[in-house]
Chains A and B, each alone.
Chain A
C-alpha cells in the first residue's frame, strides 16, 4: 500500500489539450519529485520541490509546468504536448532532499499524446 497517490492513472490527450496530473503524499515528507519514465530508458528527473520551493528544473520544456501548493500536493500542468511526451509520469516523495533519502513513488500516470 503506497503512501503516494497519483491521478489520473491513465490519460489520453491531443496536442492542443490542457490537462493536469495530481500527486498527493500521506507520509509527512518535505520533498517531492516529478519523473518521466520512457520504455527502456532511465528515469528522467524533471522537477524537485523541497519545502514547497522548486530546487531543480532539469531543462524541462515549458509545456510542462509544475505547481506545489503545499508539502503534500504536487501538480504537473500539461499544455500543447508532443507525441514524444507519451510516457509514464511518476511522482515521488522523500523526507528531505539528501544523500540517504529513500524516495517513495506513486503508481504513475500513463500518458498518451495523440
Chain B
C-alpha cells in the first residue's frame, strides 16, 4: 500500500521561510506524479494552492511556491504570515485514476 509522507508539524516565525515535503515510502516523487498542494483551516474545505508541481492556483499569493527537491515534492512558504497557520496536504497521482493524499503537515506561525 502506497504511503505518501509529510512532516507532522512545522513551526515558523512571521516573515520566515518554511519548506514542507511530500515523499514516498518507496521510490521518488517526480513531476510525473503531478503533485498538488492544499491548505485547510479548521471547519473549512481544502483550498487548492499549487498544482502540476509548481503552478499556483488562481488568487494564491506568490509567497507559496512548489518544486521537486531531491526525491520529494516540496511546498515553500517565503515570508510566512499569521493566516498561513493551517494544515497542508499534498496529493500524488499514482496512475490508473488513483490519487493518494499525504499525511498532512500542521504549520504554526509564531
Q: Do A and B bind each other?
A: no
